[in-house]
Structure 1
Amino acid sequence: MYTLKKSLGQHFLKDEQMCSKIVRALPVTEGWQVLEVGPGAGAITKYLLQLPGIDFKAVELDTEKVQYLEQTYPGIRGRLIHRSFLEIPPPFEGAFAVIGNFPYNISSQILFRILEWKEQVPLVVGMFQKEVAQRIAAGHGGKDYGILSVLVQAFYRVEYLFEVHEQCFMPPPKVKSAVIRLTRLEQPYDIASERKFFTLVKTAFNQRRKQLRNPLKALFDKSYLQDSIFSKRAEALTVADFVALSHKMI
């Protein structure tokens, strides 16, 4: 068998109906390439291995889980990458989908890595801590809207699909969980410089309770800072507003 490692944020799904539901949320067809992040004990892996005609790989850091998966699901042999997801290069040539019950302690880092790979990743289905999922999906104007919301929504359409009860896991986590789906935008925003855009968003939300004129004063000409948009707080700006502002940065 296997042990659960708190240091890796391991809480494994045990509800078969929920496992199947998560995989069904990934609308892939024959010929797709699919990467599972953190298969753990294989709760959704066994359903992914049954999808017809896909090129499937999984990345798992825990040596014990790698051995368990290979013994329990022989079909995964040769498809496992025994490394941290945060340290690997893209595992496929061309486009691939990503799915996983993401370790909650690194879920934001996983998202940022996916953003780095966005040209290759048109589709993501992931389970997150509920509060993180809500932040990713949040619209402007609310307290949940922040850095993750803007940076993800600048490149993907976000769907908050469903919540997962604590009793679906072993052991039950102390936090609630939710599954979201990211679909890359067919008409992307006109972002001239991603580096400037990311800097703008992070700087704006690092002092989210202040009017933008204060935290952003180093990023714009003094004359442009008189524009009325700088009297607003970061949460009041849409993704399109941030994109437009990024074109005006020094």
Structure 2
Amino acid sequence: MTLEQLPPLRDALAEHGLLARKAFGQHFLLDLNITRKIARLAQVGPGDQVIEVGPGPGGLTRALLETGAQVVAIEKDQRFRPLLEALAAAASPGALNLQFADALIADEAALGGGAAHVVSNLPYNVGTALLIKWLTGRWTPSSMTLMFQKEVAQRITAPVDGEAYGRLAVIAQVTSDVRTVMDVPARAFTPPPKVESAVVRVTPRPDRPSPARLDALQKLTAAAFGQRRKMLRASLKALGGEPLIDAAGLDPKARAETVDVGGFLRLADAWITERRR
């Protein structure tokens, strides 16, 4: 059996009596027109290494395999093993590597052979945690094309002083170029979620901060946005207060949402310099 001969995803789910599990944040994307568009937006093709998290019944996986990419699919829910193994058998030999594991603790560098693109309809309950892992961890993807709840997508791409601007925007934008490339309505999913979704394209920047600067940024943004209604001199008091803020050339009376990515980088550098003294 080839990929083209596989039964429709809806029929395969019905045959195995599989329903989405709320505890896993599952919503199935069964429309192959949409999954193929996501694969095109990911700009992957023959020979590319792709890591997909949460393939579920394999809708996006099919579309990725159709591009000729080599796919590593990481799935925590063992219920999908029969569907995914059937997909692997229908694909070209070795094209689909199935890993039944928790993506939060997976070693992507080993699974993807080093350089790999991440393309996923991420489970809602772990999407942000996985993004932070890939943005700040030891392994950096070649690119990421990821579906999130629309609210999360807006937090990733938010401009400074925007309503959604916060810690996630700073970490994402200091490490990567980010943009929303596709909106996906709730009705496209089975079962439909209560929220709209969006696909975000994340391309790592060549000038991404060093691990030390990223560590400092995470601490500073956690403090600053943890008390976002407070002025910086209050929210950052435990990390250096006004001397730190002055060293970064910022206004101690400013609030976190008015500080751009460059301002937070200056704060990180000032904090690192102070700790070295």
TM-score, structure 2 length as denominator? 0.84
Residue matched to 1:86? 104
Residue matched to 1:233? 255
Residues 121 and 147, structure 2, Cα contact 8 Å, conserved in 1: yes
Is 1:38 equivalent to 2:47 in the alignment?
no
Residues 220 and 236, structure 2, Cα contact 8 Å, conserved in 1: yes
Residue matched to 1:125? 145
How many percent of aligned residue pairs carry the same amino acid?
36
Q: Aligned with 2:73: secondary structure?
A: strand
Deviation (angstroms), 1:189 = 4.6
**What CA deviation, in whole Å up to 9, does each residue of 1:4-30 have, x standing for no partner?**
211111110122221111111111243
Q: Would the alpha carbon gap of residues 230 and 27 (structure 1) be closer, same or farther in structure 2, given more than 3 Å must change? A: same
Moved more, 29-38 or 67-76: 67-76
Q: Would the alpha carbon gap of residues 62 and 44 (structure 1) be closer, same or farther in structure 2, given more than 3 Å must change? A: same
**Distance in 1 (alpha carbons) for counterparts of 2:166 and 2:151:** 12
Q: Aligned with 1:44: secondary structure?
A: helix
Structure 1: gaps spanning 5 or more residues = none
Residue matched to 2:29? 13
Q: Aligned with 1:46: secondary structure?
A: helix
Q: Aligned with 1:113: secondary structure?
A: helix
Letter in 2 for 1:234: A
Q: Would the alpha carbon gap of residues 212 and 36 (structure 1) be closer, same or farther in structure 2, given more than 3 Å must change? A: same
Residues 190 and 243, structure 1, Cα contact 8 Å, conserved in 2: no
**Equivalent residue for 2:79, pick from 60, 64, 84:** 64
**Equivalent residue for 2:64, pick from 48, 63, 71:** 48
Letter in 2 for 1:34: V
Residue matched to 1:98? 118
Residue matched to 2:186? 166
**What CA deviation, in whole Å up to 9, does each residue of 1:96-136 have, x standing for no partner?**
10011100111111111212446531200011000000000
**Distance in 2 (alpha carbons) for counterparts of 1:224 and 1:130:** 35
Residue matched to 2:20? 4
Q: Whose radius of gyration is greater, 1 or 2?
A: 2
**Distance in 2 (alpha carbons) for counterparts of 1:228 and 1:33:** 43
**Equivalent residue for 1:188, pick from 193, 204, 208:** 208
Deviation (angstroms), 1:169 = 0.7
Q: Aligned with 1:172: secondary structure?
A: coil
**Distance in 2 (alpha carbons) for counterparts of 1:179 and 1:222:** 39
TM-score, structure 1 length as denominator? 0.92
Residues 138 and 144, structure 1, Cα contact 8 Å, conserved in 2: yes
Residues 42 and 144, structure 2, Cα contact 8 Å, conserved in 1: yes
Q: Aligned with 1:30: secondary structure?
A: coil
Letter in 2 for 1:99: V
**Distance in 1 (alpha carbons) for counterparts of 2:188 and 2:234:** 46
Residue matched to 1:143? 163
Q: Would the alpha carbon gap of residues 60 and 190 (structure 1) be closer, same or farther in structure 2, given more than 3 Å must change? A: closer
Residues 124 and 181, structure 1, Cα contact 8 Å, conserved in 2: yes
Question: How many corresponding residue pairs?
Answer: 249
Task: List, as ranges, runs of 4+ consecutive aligned residues in structure 1 with deviation greater than 4 Å.
Answer: 75-78, 189-192, 224-228
Deviation (angstroms), 1:188 = 2.9
Moved more, 69-78 or 130-139: 69-78
**Distance in 2 (alpha carbons) for counterparts of 1:224 and 1:79:** 49
Residues 23 and 44, structure 1, Cα contact 8 Å, conserved in 2: yes
**What CA deviation, in whole Å up to 9, does each residue of 1:121-166 have, x standing for no partner?**
1200011000000000101011200111001111110011121011
**Equivalent residue for 2:240, pick from 207, 220, 229:** 220
Residue matched to 1:242? 264
